[in-house]
Amino acid sequence: MKGKFGVTKQQAFSNIGVVIPALNESASLKILLGEITRLYRGITVVVVDDSGPIEQKKLEILQKKKFSGAKIHVIFRGKKGGRGSAVLEGMKWLLGDRHIAYMIEMDADLAHKPEEIRLFLEKKDRGDMIVGSRYLKQSHIIKWPLRRLIQSKLINFFLRLWLGLNLSDYTNGFRLYSRLAAEALVRAPLKEKGFIALSEIAYTLKQKGFTVFEVPTTFTDRRFGQSNADIKELMRSLVGAIRIRFS
């Protein structure tokens, strides 16, 4: 069946790739992959997984499942290598497909709503990187513990002062990248490993002359498992943020 401009439903999202860094998220991924592939036929998804053997077996089973009209690929790394390197590895894999023009990065824990990928695609011409912000007027945060919200706002306040980018949210991992932006990131590997790598990505692209734009998004606390972010990660990120300016 063909829609607008004679494009079939199967082809509609064939130039879009999704990168999902994951650590012990098989329960969430089962739901997430089902939703993404239901909404965006023809899309390509790569999961970069740092889990141990038990989780890997679950993902191997999940990878064999037939998701309607989509390509699902899982990269098993076997040890915790950090979000930044996971995203870059996923980008490298997607760049091997010359048809991929845009890449979406999103969390594996259902914090980001698959239906909002459309918001990024609608604004894809506004910047080389489109950042989903939790802190714009139209944004929504659902069931996030007050402690986590305060931590996030504090570190984003510091990052705005320190890095000087015109962003309200440096640390949300729901983003769109143009192919050119992804190629630039792969050529300039990140130095930071934790979630502060999200800020390093934005800073690196801005320094290289790429444009950045924000859209409001909905952020929901995880349904399964525990967050990988803790006070130690927060302190490491603050130190990492200082390093970014001098790298």
Q: Could you give all domains of the chain from N- to C-terminal order, each with its CATH number?
A: 4-246 (3.90.550.10)
- Contact indicator for 47, 108 with CB cutoff of 8 Å: yes
The pLDDT value given to residue 44: 96
Please choose, from the candidates 170, 150, 145, the residue with its C-alpha nearest in 3D space to the C-alpha of residue 160: 170
Give CA–CA dist 220/147, Å, rounded: 15
pLDDT at 151: 87
Q: Is 13 left (phi over 0), alpha (psi -120 to 50) or beta?
A: alpha
Q: Which amino acid would we find at residue 85?
A: S
d(CA 165, CA 241): 13
User: What is the pLDDT, as a whole number, of residue 4?
Assistant: 45
pLDDT value for 231 = 67
* Cα distance between residue 197 and residue 105, in whole Å: 13
Cα(164)–Cα(83) distance, integer angstroms: 23
CA of residue 56 relative to chain centroid, distance = 20
pLDDT in tens, the chain (247 residues): 444 433 445 558 999 999 999 999 999 999 999 999 999 999 999 999 999 988 888 888 888 776 766 789 999 998 888 899 999 999 999 999 999 999 999 999 999 999 999 999 999 999 999 999 999 999 999 999 998 899 899 899 999 999 999 899 999 999 999 999 999 999 987 888 778 999 999 999 999 999 999 999 999 997 765 665 666 767 777 788 888 988 6
242 residue type, one letter? I
Report the C-alpha gap between 29 and 35 in whole angstroms: 10
Residue 9: predicted pLDDT: 54
pLDDT for res 7: 44
CB atoms closer than 10 angstroms to residue 1:
5
